[in-house]
Structure 1
């Protein structure tokens, strides 16, 4: 089964393949292990072995299933980790709680490989506490043969205000409220308590037509034929499209949501020297290219993208047109009070669905 962050094959031809051309901070020793808290298999098959070959540091990777789980672990007093992979809104939330290390960019020369817009993002100005890993756009994955006249479902109407198709929604309250607001004509910055109420009314009415709420397997529901349309990330649908040519992806005309998954170093990191080495290694051009072509998520690393094959870098599902991306709002942290409104509204929506 694939997940949002799925490894589809071997990334490196040999254990130390990414070491060539690697800008490495060799002045500092980082003995022992690096403890890495990651989404399920959101990395190349041999990348961690390659890092060990280049640095001598062994990686011990643990997995989490949601940003809420990640936040709870880092904010609590459980296992300490050296590197974590929060989504961009969670970076802001963690910075507010003083949970992340302010980064020394002098120790991250490969940060220069990132595209300019990712070096000063709205969720973390000047990349003070995080560096970008991948970015995503949310839209609709769909089965062509199930669509009327084989036309793309190019509006959120087909999942928010219609009973024509079998549909699956995300289980993430913030994303669902924001997407409902987009359909109603509101941008993320325009969402007020009144807008949340309007979205709740819309989605509660539609909820009885929802076949499934998914956390990390929407593409599997689509591929298996359980649903005709699913709200999903472009990278997930790109993965299954290469196995099933009847599948496709579209960002509806109202616009979607975009997000960035990041690397960050918790303040309580046991081995910060190794953490810096790891971040810099992962931003290497060849390492980034190999991982990106494996997981099929869009990379912010321009040096890495230049080393990828045409089938990856020219894929408009992975890299939607600029106009499509610019019309999709960032998933920024709305603040604790508004987040609670999102959570409570979506809980009532799910009750309306009987799930």
Structure 2
């Protein structure tokens, strides 16, 4: 404990003189050949530093993920200093409406806890079409709150996907988008035996999202169909047979400006076999699990999510964000007892913009995880952050 507090003071000092976050764009050069359209080569991103103080062990250090809270409860003080949220992007686009554009972006959330560069976005956009890797169409970027944490409220549907997307306005207030996304999206648990069942990627995930409203206040309704395919056999001598089950999900999301200083946002989602689209359960093998009462065939798990966000601007330079989220995953008796049954995530911050492209603040987060063995653990985090955008 004394060692933790001995590290706390210098790290806190470093964090407080270095913490912030915003979004901008810097044009590097404008290109134009005679009688042709102009092109802009630009860069954008942010440099963010975070100091985190945890009061319970969590497997994930750089973002608050309730699913990673270790069970049983083991209170301990841990500190972490990170620059992994920093992002650098480079793009080129035609200076015309619906022109061709290409964009790529990295952060520093590398594998195994390193700060190696990681590809976040890489896509090409033209007219109403987009192809490449970016945020899934089955999500709502507009509702993501102004928090410092690398991970949004844990009940949100929020992931990146390789995709082909078509987006079109239906009227002055309506927009519809449809996408085919990565064949390999489903994240499943296979039986732990010698038969060697295999996951297959055969049919792409299909999503649709409808938006109605103004630039500020709106409502979105979305749907997702996720085919889950795998190869099975009953004995080692048998040939593999491919089975496919269907995962599905529905999403309702919206934002309401009560006035310029008070904003309320809500998102809810429900369905079966789409757990990996949850920001907390991405690639955690919860979409389908084996049912030993039915020959170990995979069965999709139900999931329900609910998130509420309130943002208040105290002045043009000061604001606070508060949120609460809840997620639940069914109650099947064949699910492994160490798997997560439900989790909650609550947070609040206060942020200051001393300059337009700089943000400094402090944030508190609380989470609770409950597994199928009816054991639970709780965790608290305090985070000091600073970022500068360009």
Tell me which interval the TM-score lies in, with the shorter structure as reference length: under 0.3
Q: Which has the larger radius of gyration?
A: 2
TM-score, reference length from structure 2:
0.19
Higher strand share: 2
TM-score, reference length from structure 1:
0.21
